[in-house]
Amino acid sequence: LREGRVETFLARNLVPGDVVLLNIGDRVPADIRIYEAIDLAIDESSFTGETEPAKKITGPILKSNGHTSKKNIAFMGTLVRCGNGKGIVINTGEKSEFGEVFTMMMAEEAPKTPLQRSMDILGAQLSSYSFCIIGFIMVLGWIQNKAILEMLTIGVSLAVAAIPEGLPIVVTVTLALGVMRMAKRNAIVKKLPTVETLGCVNVICSDKTGTITKNEMTATIIVTPDGHVADITGTGYNDRGEVRIRKSDNENVARAALKSLFEVGCVCNNAIIQNDTLLGQPTEGAIVAAAMKFGMYGTADTYLRLQEYPFSSEQKMMAVKCISKYSDDRQEVFFAKGALEKILPQCTKYSANGQLYSLNQKKEQEFLAEAYEIGQQGLRVIGLARGTSLQDLVYVGLIGICDPPREGVRESISILINSGVKVKMVTGDARETASAIASLIGLDTLHMRLMSGDEIDTMTEQELEQIIDNVSVFYRVTPKHKLAIVKALQRGGNIVGMTGDGVNDGVALKKADIGIAMGKNGTDVCKEAADMILVDDDFKTIIAAIEEGKGIFYNIRNFVRFQLSTSIAALALIALATLMSIPNPLNAMQILWINIIMDGPPAQSLGVEPVDKDVLKQKPRDTKEPMITRSLIINVLLSASIIILGTLWVFNREMSSMGITARDTTMTFTCFVFFDMFNALSCRSQ
């Protein structure tokens, strides 16, 4: 709103002081101080991790603590779920809360991957050892009065052969093929070395809302007053799923009770589902979706709404007064839904087996006990009632709603834990919700601690580092807390993977050794910060990525083993010949030719070996362990010894009394190549 006229233009042209009109479905273009709000609720899950939209008010707030307490501010990048309002732009771009998180993220440097660190150390080690041995051979030849030019030629040839110049090619090709395989499995990797990092990850910190769960409220259980219980399958705002009635003596009576309950839920409702997209409150959308799964479409259209008593945080219930559109009975009917402890006091009767019974205190306690039991599982309990007046309602049942874990998450976490990867859940949600979801997905909440963001604020970095291994769930956390958690884990020597989908995850995703963003519902900030994007938002894809990462490292190590055994064999062969004062078994051209052949197809093929399915059962590799381990050195020396002894035996057998001939070196060269080919097959089987 500029100069009294409503205009539409790009968000980047907004300036502080502009008046913005907000309607349902709008993306908030800047940080806005709201001065007019009519039933305005904004989805801030990308900032706070809260699934339920935040109700907005217009009055001043004397003290604020985090995003959730700033109830008179609409934050840039959030989504208007219901209602409408007006506000004044107070911050744009980098000055907005969204911009501050982005600036914090850009200030964090992405660490080097374990593979890059291993390759740096390996390159330095190979170069120093090779040049020392070549220098020793040249000095020894000079002492023995051998031709300097000949020794120099041999030295240069050995230097070329000893340095595995094929290593960068093999590493790049192996990683590139890994990236291609990952793309086919719905994971887009932005940087090549990232693929292998997944094989080293020993801690995964996962955001809850939108990552472990779908960020879509779903009705999962219904309990009617006559004791009928129904489970609802399927997730999301659609009709894919069914309502399954548990054991019932009379299924027709049970279905009639469910129909009555869904009728109340749909009529006392402002949500609309169009093409699997929700317009309105997630909780109301969950009830409409459940009714659709029961085969009830357009139920609200059969009634004419006369009056609405909107939901408020004080009343904790919503009611509507209606009359039937198509019935001759024009009697007014009230439909109500809300917190059970607010609904039951308005009820005088309850419906059971198609009959109405008087609601006594004993029955009321039974209904409250049912609600408490469902609430303990982390579900939000909604009570439903109908009647001729708001003081004379008939209780028709309750419905349990939650943001359920994605399909396959529990199995994936079980596989990760069994393979030595610790999983920690990080969420902005309340303790009860976080604990319930953690139990559902198989995290240990009995023996491990649950820690809040406020507790992290009171700790020093050292205190957090000491206690963090005993914490499985972090709740009520902000972007600053998530960053502190990742840093504390890294200081403890862990390789940390961070998964997330919201603006509040961006900083931690950038700092983690590997940041994993959700592709479908993830914000642009988290996709920018992440190293890998899951196209289908499926947590199970992480398992495939870890499998790929471990396989790639073993392929690279097999290649290094093959290259080292070839290089050591060639160096040792010439060194022994020089020490024994016999002619060199191989000339400079043959040494270079062996290098060309062995750096070619045999070496390259080791880098593209398919991943062994059992690789997942192995623990994440220790990044402190060098690429060249003791067992690898023993294997390399054993292989090199066999090549050297076999080649020297052939050279000695073929060498004639007339001195060394072209036939002798050719036989030696052929023997060396054959030995090395068998060596390649041996490395492949490791």
pLDDT tens, residue by residue, 40-80: 888 887 676 666 778 888 888 776 666 566 888 888 888 88
> Confidence band (pLDDT; 50, 70, 90) for 108?
low
Q: How far out from the chain centre does Cα 588 lie?
A: 53
Q: Which residue has the tokens 């198609």?
A: 354
| 659-663: Cβ within 8 A, 24+ apart | 659/583, 660/583
pLDDT digits (tens, 9 = 90+) for 418-432: 888 899 998 877 787
- Grouping H, G, I as helix, E, B as strand and the rest as coil, residue 659 is strand
CB atoms within 10 A of CB 381: 21
CB atoms within 10 A of CB 283: 20
Q: Quick one: pLDDT at residue 111?
A: 62
- The reply to whether 207 belongs to the active site is yes
What distance in Å separates the CA atoms of residue 668 and residue 651, rounded to the nearest whole number? 5
* Cβ neighbourhood burial of 425 (10 Å; 0-12, 13-18, 19+): buried
- For the record, the structure tokens of 78 come out as 């959030």
- Mean pLDDT value across the chain: 82
Q: What is the dihedral of CA 643, 644, 648, 650, to 10 degrees?
A: 0
CB 610 within 8 A of CB 542: no
Q: At what angle do helices 541-579 and 630-654 cross, to 10 degrees?
A: 40
What distance in Å separates the CA atoms of residue 376 and residue 536, rounded to the nearest whole number? 31
pLDDT digits (tens, 9 = 90+) for 639-668: 888 888 888 888 877 766 566 777 777 888
Q: Which residue has the tokens 């911009």?
A: 99
Can you list the positions of beta strands (E) in 535-650? none
Q: Identify the structural domains of the chain with CATH numbers, from first to last.
A: 11-107 (2.70.150.10), 114-186+544-683 (1.20.1110.10), 188-213+405-537 (3.40.50.1000), 218-402 (3.40.1110.10)
- Among candidate residues 237, 210, 235, the one with its CA nearest the CA of residue 220: 235
pLDDT digits (tens, 9 = 90+) for 532-571: 898 888 888 888 888 888 888 788 788 888 878 887 787 7
Q: Which residue has the tokens 């093999």?
A: 170
Averaged pLDDT for residues 610-616? 70
Averaged pLDDT for residues 586-615? 72
What distance in Å separates the CA atoms of residue 281 and residue 507, rounded to the nearest whole number? 29
Q: How far out from the chain centre does Cα 4 lie?
A: 47
- Among candidate residues 292, 262, 273, 246, the one with its CA nearest the CA of residue 382: 262
From 207, 513, 538, 664, active-site residue: 207
- For the record, the structure tokens of 91 come out as 């911050």
What distance in Å separates the CA atoms of residue 144 and residue 150, rounded to the nearest whole number? 13
- Give the 3-state secondary structure percentages of the chain, helix then strand then coil, rounded to 5: 45, 20, 30
Averaged pLDDT for residues 154-166? 69
> Dihedrals φ, ψ of 175, to 5°?
-65, -40
- Among candidate residues 318, 472, 466, 301, the one with its CA nearest the CA of residue 386: 318
